[in-house]
Structure 1
Amino acid sequence: MNQPLLPPLTVIGSINLDLIASTDRLPAAGETVGRGLLHRQAGGKGANQATAAARLGGGVRLIGSIGNDEAGRQLLGTLAASGVNVADILLSSQPTGTALIVVDRFGENQIVVCPGANSQLSLEGISFADDESVLCQLENGVDVVLEASRQHRGYFALNAAPAESLPDELVTRCDLVIVNETEFALLPELSNARLVAVTYGERGSAIYEYGTLVARAAALPTRVVNTVGAGDAFCSALVLALRTGHDYHRALAAANAVGSDAVRDASSQPRLSSLEHYLETTRTTPGNRR
C-alpha cells in the first residue's frame, strides 16, 4: 500500500459495481452483439478517483454511499485494501449502484448507470479541513456538489461528468474544472471559468484560464485496452500534481502519463505507479506550453 506522501484529498462521489461486457464492436441501436465476455469489478467515478489517488501516493478519503448488500461489502473492502479511508462512506437502504458497460476491441465504451444508493448521498455531519483538497463529479447530482462547495472553503475541484448544466455559483466557486472535449462543448458556462482542464484523447490535454489557453501537453502513445477509468485517473493525478505545486504543463504531462497507463489496464481502477514516477518520466516530455 502506498504511504500518504501528497496533500490530503477528499473525493466525494459515486461507488458502483461495474458489469462489463467486452465485445468485438459496440452494438448499434436495436442490435444484439454476441460472443461477449462478462466481468464484474469495482467502479463508480468517485471510487475510481479515490483509488487512483491512493495508488499515486495520496492520503485519500472517499465520501459516498453504498447498499447494505453483498456488492456494497465487496466494494468497501476493495477500497480499504487500496488505501482509501472509508470511514465516511454511508450505508443506504437502496441497493449498491451498478454500471452496465460495453467495451469494444478498441477500448471504446457505452455506459448506463443505475445509481441506487448513490442517489441517497448526504453530506450531513461531514466536516472538511481547510488544508484538504476536495474533488467531486456529477454522478451524485449537482445538488450534492453545490452543497459540498458551500461547506468546504479550501481547494475545490470538479470533474464535470456526466455533463449537465452548472449554476453560476458553482462555476465561480471551483478552483479547477476537468472535462473531456465533448463535455467542454456541452458546457458553454465554462468558457470563462477560473481554470478548466480539457482532455482530448490521443491529442493530449490543455488548461484554459478564464478562457485563455495557458498550457498544453501531448498524449503518450499507448495500446488502448479500456478507457473507462482513464479519465478518473487523470483527474486525481492532475489535482494532486497541481496541489503539490507543479506548474500547469508539468502537471498536465504527468496526468497524461497516468491516463496512458490507465488505458492499458482492463480494470476501471487500474494499477498505477507513484505520482513522483510520472512526474520524473515526463520531465523532458515534449509538448506545447501555450
Structure 2
Amino acid sequence: MSTENPKLEERRARVEALLRGIEKERRIGVIGSMNADYTIDVPHLPAPGETVRGGEVRLLPGGKSSNQAACAALLGASVSMFGLVGKDDNGSFLLERLGRAGVDVTGVARAGRPTGTTLIAVDAAGENAIAYAPGANDLLDAAFVRAAEELLDCDVVGLCLETPLNSVRVAAARCHEAGAQVLLNYSPCSEPPSRDLAQSVDVLLVNEHELAQLTGLPEGGPWAEAQDALLDMGFSEALVTTGPRGSMVLGEDCARRVESFEVRACDTTGCGDAFMGAVLAGLASGYSLREAAELGSCVSAFAALGHGAQASYGTADQVVDALRQGLLG
C-alpha cells in the first residue's frame, strides 16, 4: 500500500476494518424486486429515435432488491430474500445466482407471470440507460407481505420502490412494529411518500436527484433545508448519495459528508444498489450510519470496476484486495 498520502492510507485502513467486522449474527431481510438484466455495451447512449450498434448481449442477474441482498451477503452478512420470479428460465437463473452469493431464497415464490426484465445500454464512460418491465414483481402485493412471516424475524429490513407502493407501506409498518431497523431506498421515485410510510422508516436512502424530487429543493443542497424538509415529512435519518462527491448523512442534529472513493469506472450499473447492500450489512453489524455510509462508498466504487450489477459485486476479501492494490483511491 502506498504511503504517499497518509490520509488516504488511514481511510483505507479504517474501511478495511469495517469490511473485516461484518457479522452474521443479526439477520437482514430484503423484500422487493428481482430482474433479469439484458445488457449491451454501446459507444454512446442513443438519443431519441437513434439506433446505436453495440456489442454482444449479456444476461446478468439484477433487480434493485435482489442486487442489494446479493451485495450484503457477499460481504458476509446473513441475508434472506423475499419476492417473486416467474416459472421461467430467467427465474431459475436469478434464484441460482442469489443462492451462489449466499442469500437464503426460501422466501421467494414462483409466479404465473414472466420474471422481471431490464434492458440496459452502457456507454464507453460506464454510464447507463435502463428500460424496465416489472413482470412478476408487480404481483408482490400486501397479501404476499403479510404471508411472509419470516420477514418479521429479521433485525434489519431493506425496501425499494420496484414493487407496488402499498406492499412497501405494509412491509415497512409491519417490520418497524416488530422492532426491525427499516432502510428504504426511495427509488425509483414517482410520488411523495405518505407520512405513515415515512414514520415507519428508520433510514431513508435517495440520490440527490430523488431528494430534489421529494423536497422541491435544488440538487446539491442547501443541506440544512433538505434535512428540515425530510424531518417535516416524518423521516428521522437519511443518506443522500451524490455521485463522485460521495454521500451526505442527514439527521436531527447533523449533516455530514462522506467522501467517495475514486475509481476508473467500467460500468456504473448497480453501484447505487451496492451502496445500499453495504449499508444494510453495516447496520446489521452495529455500525453507525456514518460508518455504514463509508463502507457503502467503498463497496459501490468496487462495483464500478466490473460489468453488470450483481456480477460486479465482490466479497469483503476482494474489496480489501482492491483497496490494498490502490484500485480504490
Distance 1:110 1:131, change over 3 A: closer
Deviation at 1:4, TM superposition (A): 6.2
Residue 230 of structure 2 corresponds to which residue in structure 1? 191
Aligned match for 1:271, one of 287, 302, 313: 313
* Secondary structure class of the residue paired with 2:136: helix
Residue 146 of structure 1 corresponds to which residue in structure 2? 169
What is the one-letter code of the residue matched to 2:92? R
Residue 116 of structure 1 corresponds to which residue in structure 2? 135
Distance in 1, Cα, partners of 2:94 & 2:291 = 33
Distance 1:275 1:181, change over 3 A: farther
Deviation at 1:109, TM superposition (A): 0.8
Trace 1:138-217 onto structure 2 (pairs within 5 A).
Answer: 138-152=161-175, 153=177, 154-165=180-191, 166-188=193-215, 191-192=230-231, 193-210=235-252, 213-217=254-258
Work out whether residues 14 and 46 of structure 1, in 8 Å CA contact, stay in contact via their aligned partners in 2. yes
Aligned match for 2:32, one of 13, 34, 42: 13
Residue 269 of structure 2 corresponds to which residue in structure 1? 228
Trace 1:245-264 onto structure 2 (pairs within 5 A).
Answer: 245-264=286-305
* Secondary structure class of the residue paired with 1:37: coil
Aligned match for 2:156, one of 120, 129, 133: 133
Distance 1:31 1:207, change over 3 A: same
Distance in 2, Cα, partners of 1:131 & 1:85 = 12
What is the one-letter code of the residue matched to 1:171? A
Query: Which one is further off, 117-126 or 196-205?
Result: 117-126
Residue 92 of structure 1 corresponds to which residue in structure 2? 111
Deviation at 1:228, TM superposition (A): 1.3
Gaps of 5+ in 1: 283-290
Work out whether residues 29 and 154 of structure 2, in 8 Å CA contact, stay in contact via their aligned partners in 1. no
* Secondary structure class of the residue paired with 1:241: helix
Query: Cα deviation per residue 1:196-235 (whole Å; 9 max; x = unaligned)?
Result: 101111101111114x643211111101111111111101
Distance in 1, Cα, partners of 2:202 & 2:317 = 21
Distance 1:244 1:35, change over 3 A: closer
Residue 40 of structure 1 corresponds to which residue in structure 2? 59
Distance 1:144 1:131, change over 3 A: closer
Aligned match for 1:239, one of 280, 300, 314: 280
Deviation at 1:131, TM superposition (A): 5.3
Distance in 2, Cα, partners of 1:207 & 1:40 = 35
Distance in 2, Cα, partners of 1:130 & 1:98 = 30
The answer to whether 1:68 aligns with 2:77 is no
Deviation at 1:251, TM superposition (A): 2.1
- Say which one has the larger Rg: 2
Query: Which one is further off, 27-36 or 12-21?
Result: 27-36
Gaps of 5+ in 2: 1-21, 217-228, 325-329
* Secondary structure class of the residue paired with 1:111: strand
* Secondary structure class of the residue paired with 1:47: helix
Deviation at 1:276, TM superposition (A): 11
**Over aligned residues, Cα RMSD in angstroms?**
2.2
Trace 1:22-37 onto structure 2 (pairs within 5 A).
Answer: 22-37=41-56
- Total equivalences in the alignment: 278
Work out whether residues 70 and 103 of structure 2, in 8 Å CA contact, stay in contact via their aligned partners in 1. yes
Q: Percent identity?
A: 32
Higher helix share: 2
What is the one-letter code of the residue matched to 2:306? D
Tell me the TM-score normalised to structure 1 length.
Answer: 0.90
Deviation at 1:7, TM superposition (A): 2.2
